[in-house]
Chain A
Amino acid sequence: MHVVDLEQQSVRDLNAALHRLTPDTNETLWQVTNSGGKHAIGAGVDAPIDIVIKGNVGYYCAGMNKQASITIHGNAGQGVAENMMSGRVHVMGDASQSAGATGRGGLLIVEGDAAARCGISMKGIDIIVKGSIGAMSAFMAQAGNLVVLGDAGEALGDSIYEATVFVRGKVKSLGADCIEKPMSADDKTRLSGILAGAGVETVSPEDFRMYASARRLYNFHIDNLSSY
């Protein structure tokens, strides 16, 4: 196992070493210590490896991740796993704003809460937050699933496209063009898969309500002017 101490080495050194890895690498286990809230730890990794970060991280940790499984034993700053392509990012504490923003694939798991704008403009990623999420989450979300075991803040799913949001707790308010929809058998199967993938066994898909686009704002219509 590679251990990288960020009091001894820079984040730039760490990321350069991770970027040099090839798809068939044998160096599949990495541990990062003394993360100290530094920014962009493990950003841009493209290899099937496991990275364990012992401590809190700053902005954009695991951004653009492809293939790697990255676990953060602490809280994550803004934009954790932003634009993730594939792989898995697991935050053991809370995540700050814009967690999983613009993510295109993979799974982001947050054990605690996620702050405002969680899943903003998500494009295919699955996000599961075991606590609650802040305001303006899933804003302009295009594809993928956002699953929340706790509550959601104001203006959930504002201007949402074809992403789906599942919330078990209370929703403070829905944003423009986001409505509750009945869950189909396919929706329940998809939700069950995400719950199982995140190791959630005690919660049933029946406990959730589903929110998605009313599709009224897709094309310009003069009657909707106030909603644009």
Chain B
Amino acid sequence: MCGIVGLFLKNERLQPELGGHLSRMLATMSARGPDSAGIAVYGSGADDLIKLTLRAADPAADGDLAGKLAAAIEAGVDLIRRSNHVVLTIPKHRRAPALTWLAQHAPDIDVVSAGSRMEIYKEVGLPERVANRFSISAMRGTHGIGHTRMATESAVTTEGAHPFSTGDDQCLVHNGSLSNHNAVRRNLRREGLVFETENDSEVAAGYLTWRMREGDSLKEALTSSLDALDGFFTFVVGTRDGFAVLRDPVACKPAVLAESDDYVAFGSEFRALAVLPGIDKARVFEPEPATVYAWERR
């Protein structure tokens, strides 16, 4: 059992409240996943910059990481520290040297995600505490996805916490379990994808990244995943401008969607949506099995 929440804003006026709503939604799903929690937030960004979300075991790992990195890559580095996560913003064209320098000089630091707008925070512990630790409620943005995990297939570790990101500005959360993930992972590695864990959900994220790299839209990638992935799943997926939901053909795992003029919201249970403003006016419905629901920001 796991809990998923997602919020995709249509009304720009709600953007300052995104983190607050996501935090409250996440807390309602604690009973479905008390082991770890994670959240992806799509905030501000620029086309010529890239954000790297890094995670260190020790929150005070390196006080002058930004200065040293800036000197090494000969470019401006902006750093925001949130507990043991750090978001570095650097010029997009200096990404490769920055990653090389980090791997050499800060091998204990994990790169959690990269993208022009997406930041990912995840950690073990009760969802409410995880959200507070990273001050999620103060974040603004256009859309975000959160996950509360009850670990069944692999250990309770930060590496096993969702969301998983296998491509720039792409993230996926998963409730369920996949049965053919080893075979799919082998094929995707042959296609050049890199996996950080043995987790089944990371394979689903990688599969979508591969399909989109080959030219599929988010909707097309999810449609083809119905044939490629075997098992139980409810997926919620984010891209820089998109938000999508897919359930397996048996629809084993719960899902509720709400749509209004202001937002699209996803919850594993309605309880997660009950905290949203105007939910009594939204259209609340259960997504059909094996049907892709996708929204794109214009």
Contacts and interface: CB of A to CB of B under 8 A. Distances in A.
Contacts of B285: 75, 94
A196 B269 CA distance: 34
Contacts of B251: 97, 115-116, 134-135
Contact of A37 (B250, B270, B286, B289): B270
Interface residues of A, number: 19
| Contact-residue bracket for chain B | 10 to 19
B46 interface: no
A94 B286 contact: yes
Given A37-B270, A57-B270, A77-B270, 15 more contacts: A36-B270, A37-B271, A56-B284, A58-B269, A59-B269, A75-B270, A75-B284, A75-B285, A75-B286, A77-B269, A78-B254, A96-B286, A97-B254, A115-B286, A116-B251
A38 interface: yes
A58 B269 CA distance: 7
B39 interface: no
20 contacts: A36-B270, A36-B271, A36-B274, A37-B269, A37-B274, A38-B271, A58-B269, A59-B269, A75-B284, A77-B256, A77-B269, A77-B270, A78-B254, A96-B254, A96-B256, A97-B254, A97-B286, A115-B251, A134-B288, A135-B289
A58 B286 contact: no
A21 to B, nearest CB: 27
Nearest to A74: B284
B102 to A, nearest CB: 43
B68 to A, nearest CB: 49
B77 interface: no
B2 interface: no
A13 B256 CA distance: 27
B176 to A, nearest CB: 15
Interface string A116-131: 1000000000000000
A75 B279 CA distance: 13
Interface in B241-298: 250-251, 254, 256, 269-274, 280, 284-286, 288-289
Nearest to B288: A134
B232 to A, nearest CB: 13
A198 B256 CA distance: 27
Contacts of B256: 77, 96
Nearest to A76: B270
A94 to B, nearest CB: 7
A135 B291 CA distance: 13
A2 B254 CA distance: 32
A177 to B, nearest CB: 20
Closest 8 CB pairs of A and B: A37-B270, A36-B274, A37-B271, A56-B270, A37-B274, A115-B286, A116-B251, A96-B286
B28 to A, nearest CB: 9
| Max count, chain B CB within 10 A of own CB: residue among A36, A57, A78 | A36
Contacts of B289: 116, 134-135
B33 to A, nearest CB: 16
A97 B234 CA distance: 15
A157 to B, nearest CB: 17
B103 to A, nearest CB: 46
B175 to A, nearest CB: 14
Contacts of A38: 271
Nearest to A97: B251
B199 to A, nearest CB: 27
B258 to A, nearest CB: 10
Contact of B273 (A37, A57, A116): A37
